[in-house]
Each structure stands twice: as C-alpha cells, then as structure tokens.
Amino acid sequence: MSSYIIEGGQKLEGLVKISGSKNSSLPIIAATILNAGKTTLYNVPHIQDTQMMYKILETLGAKIEKKNGKIKIDTSKIEKFEIPPDLMNKMRSSVILAGALLGRYKKAIFSYPGGCDIGSRPIDLHLKSFEKLGIQVNQNHGNIECNAEKIQGEKIDLDFPSVGATENAILASVLAEGTTIITNAAREPEIIDLQNFLNKMGAKITGAGTDEIQIIGVKRLKDISYNIMPDRIEAGSFLCFAAATKGNIILEDVNATHITPIINKLEEAECKIEINKNKIKIIAPKKLKAIDIKTMPYPGFPTDMQSVFASMLTTAKGTSIIVENIFENRYKYAQELNKMGAKITVEGKSAVIRGTRKLYGADGYGRWRRLYSRWIWWGRREYRSCCGWDRQRWNWVCGDRRRIRLGGVKHLAVNKKIPMRKCVGCGEMKPKKELIRILRTEEEFLVDVTGKKNGRGAYLCPCKACFDLSVKS
C-alpha cells in the first residue's frame, strides 16, 4: 500500500502546465483500431488508464512505441476482437473499445467494465445503439458478444446524453454503410476532440458539440498525427486547489471555454479570475463565499468537479448546497472530510456543507481516485498519511508532483511501501518512524486498549497518553 504524508496549511502558488485530457485520450486511443495503420499521438497523459489501454491494444495485437512525449500506435496487425475480462474489469473506459472493434471487424466480445464506484453506470445505452445499427447483441453470464453481417447507418435516439454511448456509436458508425444520425448526443468537448481526430483520419462527421451528430460512412481511414486537447477537469481541480488554500496560480495550456461553468462558480465564490489566451490566473480571497451547485450534462456544471468543490467549500463562509444529478453514489468522500472537521450532511442526492473555520489532520483511506485527491490538498497536520489509493491512482500521478512544486505535499511515496505500524495506545496506524519501539521483557509486558497481549517489538506514539494507556508493570 502506498501513502502520502502531507503537511498542510500552505498556499499553492506558481505556474502549472495542464496535461492532455484523459477523457479525450482514451476514446482516441481506441479509435486508432479503425485506421488499421499507424497513428502518432501527442500530449497523451502518462497515467494508469492510458497505460491500461495500451496493454489491451497490445493484447489484441497492436504495436505501441512511446518516445519523447509521443505515442506511436500501429494497429495494422490486430487480428483479435475479444477484450480480456481481467483487463476490462480494471477500467470502465475500456468499453469504448467495443465500438472500434465492431467498426473494423463487425465483431466484439467483452465483459461488463469496472471503474470507480460512484454509482450505477449501466452500458445499456451502448448496447441499444449497437442494435440500432444492425448489430446482434448477446449477453451470457456477464459476457457480451456482438456480431453483424454489415453495419448499416441508422438514426439513434439516446435516452440520456451519455458520453460513452455517444462515442461508441460514433466509432461503430465511421466505417458503416450509409448515414448515422445520433440525437440527444453528449456535447462535451471530448466529443468534439474525437470528431476532429476521426475527420483528420478521413471520416465524415459533423455536429459534435451539439445534440445531433451525423456520421457518413467511409471505406477506409489514413495514418495521421494528432495533439490531444488539455484536461478540463484537471484544470478546474488546480483552480480549486488554489482557492481552497488562499493561493494564486497560473494555468498554462488550458482552454477556458471548456471550463466556463467552473470559472463562473469560482467567481461566485469571490475568486478573481484572469483569462489570457491559453492561460488562466486565479487569485483566491481570504475567505471563500458559500455557493450552491447542481451537476448537469455539459454545458452544465460537470459531475467530476462536484467533490472538488465540496472539499473547497468546507471552509467557506456560510452554507453551501450541492445537488448531484448524474450519479447516485458520489458522496463517499463526505465521511472522510468529516473526520477532518468538515460539516457535511448528505440527504439523498443533496449535500449540505456548513462552512467551518479550518480542517485538521487525520489519517484516511483513499480507495477512490476522487477521494484521495481531496485528501492530498486538505491535509492540515504534519506527518498524517493518506493511504490505500493503489486501486485508482491513475489520474493524478503528474498532478501530485506538480502540487509538490506548488507547496502542497510534504512527502510523496509513489510505488514505495511506507512502513506502517499500529500504536498499541491509541490503536491508530501511523508511519513506523514516528513511533517508539518497546521490547517486552520477562518482568513487564504490553497490552493494548483491548487487553490483548503484544509480543516483542510493539509500538507506541511518543505521547504520555499512549504510554499511560498501554504500559503496565
């Protein structure tokens, strides 16, 4: 298990270069299957999800070369169309490969995807879209087999503007016969980026960024190079990091039009925002103002930013209310922030946040990426660890190092095991180097707070309270 040890209470100040978008990179990497040739990508974030996507492509037969910040993908020798279940279960976005495989082979075999536990995220809209295109979908004990003699363009009416379903429908339709029209399509900037990428390859797609997308099928695509758009969620998160710590930072390589709802809410919280071409500067006030937020599909407030704002608003002046309209299980972070002194009450899809003067250090278990990222910048006490984030570490690897340079993290242990021991006095797990090791002799022994005997090498906090509780003659 890896750990972060944080000394909080510091302002974040400096310059941050925003990396490429994760949510744009993954469908574009999947789309390289359609080319059956060579594609070169730039500005792809070096995160666990992209590495997992490379691994799946290599399993299918692709060749991938990573050198000097560019990714060369050769899909000309892909001959498999079954996504390994063990890899599929590690990443929800792997479902986007189904559309690409169907577009090229008219076949795809996959299982239900994994991903962050933020609520129900069924793929029924994906499967219904495939069926509209004439693809036969068979579900058998968790496995999904899709086959088609040919893929015929058709009108697809989405019940909800799902980003993944929109992307899968596009990928399955690019090489189809005839014209496909997707109504109630997702309007996210990542959809526009996917359209731009495929059109550069030779596809004929129009309407991305609106609720109706038209795809005219083509016979083949060509080799290209492409630069991934900046990550709008990462940009918004860094702005909130600065706001929460009363700091001021400048973001570089960012598209301000992608994060308009985020900027509007930060200004409502009395942050000063300055935009200059591809740069954004934020100057935080001494005290944030409480605000209300409702998550909505783009161009509304993004659900991925909901937990970031909630963390930021824990010390705002007044009471904030957040309503989550996309996922039903996205408030798991609340109990962890409450450990640190936050006052968050969750009622159904709403969270009521009563601002407090400050938060305090506490140990936390960050199983989910979105949770542990909040812990990273809210730590308030030296040598308090945020542990257990090994499952979903992928989106903040580069960000972690940038926060160190900005002054946000005291110690980072990536892919290293921080020795942790349980104090027999208070029962908390703490870094071994903080504790005092006491050896048992024949004349004396140690018992913890439950009365259980401890052998040689027990550990105690260096405080009188723990000694008084734990040592008996």
d(CA 95, CA 197): 19
Respond yes or no: is residue 271 known to be catalytic.
no
d(CA 193, CA 141): 35
d(CA 253, CA 43): 11
Cα–Cα nearest to 111, from 146, 151, 83, 150? 83
Tokens linked to 470: 């734990």
All residues at 6 or more sequence positions from 257 whose CB lies less than 8 Å from its CB, including other chains: none
Q: SS3 of 347, please?
A: strand
Q: SS3 of 464, please?
A: helix
Strands 38-42 and 224-227: parallel
Which residue, chain included where needed, has tokens 């789309």?
A: 31
Q: Assign 3-state DSSP to the chain and report helix, strand, coil percentages, each to 5.
A: 35, 30, 40
| Active-site entry in 116, 146, 423, 466 | 116
Tokens linked to 84: 């390994």
d(CA 155, CA 183): 8
Cα–Cα nearest to 199, from 172, 176, 219, 174? 174
The DSSP code sequence of 278-344 is: TEEEEE--SSPBP-EEEB-STTSB-GGGHHHHHHHGGGSBSEEEEE--S-SS--THHHHHHHTT--E
Cβ atoms 131, 167 nearer than 8 A: no
d(CA 254, CA 359): 30
- The residues carrying an active-site annotation are 116
